[in-house]
């Protein structure tokens, strides 16, 4: 950041601190000149808009994703951007973001953002890994019941004027086994809900985790696939999970079982799933995510799964409830505000997580230095040499990959010296972004 510091523009107010022992703390604000501009896309929750406007930012709100050319033009002049899953923040797009310091993904996934390139530009990325967990878990429970009773096909037949009252191959879910692949926030909630309906729960995860309720862990993915009547996938998109459910895995599932995917579209090989459904090996499937998805609502969706028997297709709505979107709005907007105003990177996806105690309201001479730099030897020595003539009240530094993050609260009695500190740190060759908060 090369903006000249404007000492006259600094305003002082009050905020609550995470340090409960001293609730009377100073509200930090960005010290460089110019108002903070936020670009919000894809109709993020009005709750987020309200939070960011109340923080004093200029908010440019759009209900839909922007085409690439418009996005590149818009992103040149903003300090933060909020998106959902349709906007792709690639290296090409981010290379035009000269003022951008933060990205808020108002969803769980962050695969739509080039995280490493963003970090290399000093851009911190936040998401909402917890807020829609209940909504997704409830949708999966509904789909389990719908599939076991073939309600999707019966409903479609009735809309076509066909009365088809059958009980063959329709079952209660009580006593059946649910296999959960990925026992994280969604998987654990799903397991609790399933057990309350009388199901047995078995799960597989790459991490050693504590079972909740009467659920039990499987040693391998194959064990879950071979034993479960319903298999529900809840894994992130990584190179290891790409097409982790293919022809071989589907063949290892019990004949007459069901597959549910509410995780990521690349986790399941769609052609192999369609074949398993049409052959009758699988009794049904519910799919909420796809390898490629339309950028906007309307006609034009194509998939090999269309018109497969007992197959529920939904348009990526697992977390699309009013409650989830409101909580996502609160979580991500709060993270963006804290990062912009106080430098807090807690819960960041691509940055090391750092924070400092709040500054007491009685302390009017302390400023906060926030610095992102290349993670190479000698940078901290250079920064601390610059700060050596000042009282450093507290500092923290951590790194993630090739990028390091540094925060320090420094007492500066003469406000004119703040510019000097800023200029000396930004002159370090490994500097990526330096901000001064007051």
Neighbours of 356 (CB within 10 A): 20
Contact partners, residue 192, CB within 8 Å, separation at least 6: 212, 213
Residue among 79, 264, 368, 435 flagged as catalytic: 264
Q: Average pLDDT over the chain, rounded to whole?
A: 92
**Once rounded to an integer, what is the mean pLDDT over residues 109-122?**
95
CB 221 within 8 A of CB 181: yes
Residue among 73, 157, 293, 353 flagged as catalytic: 293
* pLDDT, tens digit (0-9, with 9 covering 90-100), for 400-435: 999 999 999 999 999 889 999 999 999 999 999 999
Contact partners, residue 211, CB within 8 Å, separation at least 6: 203, 217
pLDDT > 70 fraction of the chain, expressed in percent and rounded: 92
Higher local confidence (pLDDT), 192 or 293: 192
pLDDT > 90 fraction of the chain, expressed in percent and rounded: 86
Alpha helices for 213-353 (secondary structure H): 221-227, 247-252, 270-279, 322-342
pLDDT exceeds cutoff 80 at 12: no
Comparing C-alpha atoms, which of 329, 319, 373 is closest to residue 43?
A: 329
Q: Does residue 316 have an active-site annotation?
A: yes
Q: Does residue 293 have an active-site annotation?
A: yes
Tell me what pLDDT residue 30 has: 67
What's the chain's length in residues? 438
Alpha helices for 85-161 (secondary structure H): 91-94, 115-120, 133-148, 151-159
First to last CA, the chain: 16
* pLDDT, tens digit (0-9, with 9 covering 90-100), for 171-194: 999 999 999 999 999 999 999 999
User: Binning pLDDT at 50, 70 and 90, where does residue 213 land?
Assistant: very high
Helix (H) or strand (E) holding 69: helix 68-75
Higher local confidence (pLDDT), 12 or 293: 293
198-201 own/partner pairs: CB under 8 Å, 24+ apart: 198/173, 198/174, 199/173, 199/174, 199/175, 200/175, 200/176, 201/177
* DSSP strand pairing (200-204 vs 257-261): unpaired
* pLDDT, tens digit (0-9, with 9 covering 90-100), for 248-292: 999 999 999 999 999 999 999 999 999 999 999 999 999 999 999
Neighbours of 382 (CB within 10 A): 17
Tell me what pLDDT residue 221 has: 98
Residue among 79, 316, 373, 435 flagged as catalytic: 316
pLDDT exceeds cutoff 90 at 34: no
């Amino acid at each position: 950041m090369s903006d000249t510091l404007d000492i006259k523009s600094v305003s002082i107010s009050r905020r609550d601190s995470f340090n409960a022992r001293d609730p009377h703390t100073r509200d930090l604000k960005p010290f460089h000149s110019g108002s903070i501009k936020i670009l919000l896309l894809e109709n993020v929750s009005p709750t987020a808009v309200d939070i960011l406007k109340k923080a004093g930012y200029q908010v440019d709100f759009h209900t839909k994703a922007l085409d690439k050319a418009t996005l590149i033009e818009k992103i040149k002049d903003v300090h933060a951007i909020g998106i959902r899953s349709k906007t792709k923040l690639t290296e090409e797009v981010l290379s035009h973001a000269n003022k951008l310091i933060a990205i808020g993904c108002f969803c769980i996934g962050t695969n739509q953002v080039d995280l490493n390139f963003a970090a290399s530009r000093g851009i911190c990325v936040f998401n909402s890994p917890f807020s829609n967990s209940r909504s997704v878990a409830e949708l999966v429970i509904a789909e389990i019941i719908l599939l076991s009773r073939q309600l999707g096909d019966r409903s479609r037949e009735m809309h076509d004027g066909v009365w088809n009252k059958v009980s063959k191959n329709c079952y209660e879910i009580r006593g059946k086994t649910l296999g959960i692949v990925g026992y994280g926030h969604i998987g654990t909630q799903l397991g609790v809900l399933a057990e309350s309906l009388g199901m047995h729960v078995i799960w597989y995860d790459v991490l050693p985790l504590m079972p909740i309720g009467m659920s039990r862990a499987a040693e391998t993915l194959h064990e879950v696939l071979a034993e479960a009547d319903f298999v529900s996938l809840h894994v992130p998109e990584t190179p290891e999970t790409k097409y982790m459910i293919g022809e071989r895995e589907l063949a290892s599932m019990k004949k007459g079982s069901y597959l549910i995917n509410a995780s990521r579209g690349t986790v399941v090989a769609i052609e192999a799933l369609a074949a398993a459904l049409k052959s009758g090996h699988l009794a049904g499937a519910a799919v909420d995510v796809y390898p490629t998805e339309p950028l906007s609502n309307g006609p034009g969706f194509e998939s090999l799964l269309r018109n497969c028997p007992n197959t529920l297709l939904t348009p990526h709505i697992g977390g699309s409830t009013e409650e989830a979107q409101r909580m996502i709005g609160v979580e991500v907007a709060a993270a963006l505000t804290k990062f912009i105003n106080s430098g807090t990177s807690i819960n960041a996806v691509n940055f090391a997580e750092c924070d400092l105690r709040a500054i007491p309201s009685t302390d009017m001479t302390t400023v906060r230095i926030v610095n992102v730099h290349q993670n190479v030897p000698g940078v901290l020595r250079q920064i601390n040499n610059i700060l050596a003539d000042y009282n450093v009240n507290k500092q923290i530094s951590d790194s993630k990959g090739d990028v390091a993050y540094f925060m320090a609260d420094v007492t500066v009695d003469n406000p004119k010296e703040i510019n000097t500190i800023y200029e000396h740190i930004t002159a370090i060759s490994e500097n990526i972004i330096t901000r001064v908060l007051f």
